[in-house]
Chains A and B, each alone.
Chain A
Amino acid sequence: MDHELQQLIVKAKKGDQDSFSELIQRYKRKVFRHAFAMVHDQMEAEDITQEAFVKAYFSMDHLKEEFAFSSWLTKIVANLCYDRIKKREKQPQLQMDPEQTELIADTQSEVENLQLKISLQLAMQKLTPGHRTVIVLRDIQGFSYQEIADILEIPEGTVKSRINLARKELRKELLRG
């Protein structure tokens, strides 16, 4: 962790809103991608992003080590996403409309690539929240197995087997189309 980032976190912990604003700027894309990959809804993902930062600001006292800020913030986002998905399961399911995607294709290969990405997003939605979470943490956020174990508070061996199972499930869903 660079010194500047550490100073921002220290100041934000003391309630400095300018420093916290800088932290939002640095982490908002990462948080949004995590949320989107979990809920697959633009508005809801942005709402979760906002809520995650508000929650983080008021819980900064609970952050013991500055270097763990990224994992700590990810834990907040993961929990918020999990809560939203659980709440959504009780309500009628909304399917993602491929027409609404922001990805724009021009050439034939780009069209195929776009279709593949849409298929991947649809396949991701078929996974259980637990499997989706480990895929997001590893392949989208790039956390190590040990970091994922710390974020989810589960043994590293469980992380390894869960990622293995989640990928098998994802490939199966992709082939199913």
Chain B
Amino acid sequence: MHEEINGLLSAYADDELGSKQRKEVEKHMSVCGECRDEVAQLLELKTLLSSTYEELEMKNSNMEQMVLARIRSESAHEPQSSRGGVAAALAGAMILIAFLWFASSVITKGIHVGVTLTSISFSLIRSAFSVAGALPNLLEIFLVLALIVLLASGWSVRRLLDTKSTG
């Protein structure tokens, strides 16, 4: 019983017990000098704590001004950084749009040139085929020409070898 009540003395000193528990504590204290002394010491400790720290004062007399100055300083930095962020985002968007506009015109021109070159190439190939088709005995002429080139090459190689061996 004593231990159980002893655990409630701190809350009793703070007047934080329900009426039932408070009555139990008071009933026990009427017969227990140890618990009475403990409550007296607890109340003394509470008073000492309160008075010790109550007397303390700040040395800084312009706390309000210092806090407000810090608030203004931090407030001034925040909008500036957000304004800077918006400006940077706008500049970035403008650069991106300009780049896309420039790139699209270059790409369009590139495609146009490519299409023109391709169509010229096709026209040239078609013309070459037409010319080739119009000439009679084209294959025979081609074979004779190839034979001439082959013979000329063989003669040139032999001559070159002869010159090297004699030299």
Contacts and interface: CB of A to CB of B under 8 A. Distances in A.
Interface in A86-125: 102-103, 116-117, 120-121
B134 interface: no
Interface in B66-84: 66-68, 70-72, 74
A137 to B, nearest CB: 11
Contacts of A7: none
A33 B56 CA distance: 7
Interface stretch (B44-52, B114-122, B154-162): B44-52
B49 A57 contact: no
B45 A171 contact: yes
Nearest to B65: A21
A167 B53 contact: no
B68 to A, nearest CB: 6
A2 B58 CA distance: 26
Contacts, number: 91
Contacts of A164: 7, 9-11
Interface stretch (A45-53, A68-76, A77-85): A45-53
Interface string A131-165: 00001001110001100000000000000110110
Contact of A33 (B46, B54, B63): B54
A114 B67 CA distance: 33
A11 B68 CA distance: 15
B59 interface: yes
B50 A139 contact: yes
B41 A58 contact: no
Contact of B63 (A50, A102, A144, A161): A50
A58 B64 contact: no
A42 B16 CA distance: 33
B4 interface: no
Contacts of B67: 21, 24, 50, 53-54, 57
A120 B44 CA distance: 12
Contacts of A120: 48-49, 52
B83 to A, nearest CB: 18
Nearest to B58: A32
14 contacts: A24-B64, A29-B58, A33-B54, A53-B67, A54-B67, A57-B71, A102-B57, A117-B48, A117-B51, A120-B48, A145-B16, A163-B10, A163-B11, A164-B11
Interface of B: 7, 9-11, 14, 16, 41-42, 45-46, 48-60, 63-64, 66-68, 70-72, 74
6 A-B pairs with least C-beta separation = A164-B10, A139-B49, A117-B52, A53-B67, A21-B64, A24-B64
Interface of A: 17, 20-21, 24-25, 28-29, 32-33, 36-37, 42, 45-46, 49-50, 53-54, 57-58, 102-103, 116-117, 120-121, 135, 138-140, 144-145, 160-161, 163-164, 167, 170-171, 174
